[in-house]
Amino acid sequence: MSGISGIIEAKDLTKVYRRGREEIHALKNVDFHVGEGEFVSIIGPSGSGKTALLNVLGCLDTPSSGSLRLNGV
């Protein structure tokens, strides 16, 4: 896999949900890189954005802004 620097790369990933006039920032300017063979654990308190992140990573939801690359794409 030459030329691919990471299996998962996120840059300035933001996810905003709207409830009426209220904006809920589930993810705000998240940057991370996961290389081939690396193991990652996502932990945090309730409401910290774990599910929002996994939904974006699994392509079940789209980020409000930022970029996400999976396998270099």
CA distance 29 to 66: 7
Per residue in 15-42, pLDDT tens?
Answer: 999 999 999 999 999 999 999 899 999 9
Task: Identify how many contiguous H helices and E strands the chain contains and give both numbers.
Answer: 1, 3
Nearest of 49, 45, 47 to residue 32 by alpha carbon? 49
Rounded to 5°, the CA angle 68-21-54 comes to 25
Q: What is the pTM of this model?
A: 0.83
**What is the per-residue pLDDT for 72?**
80
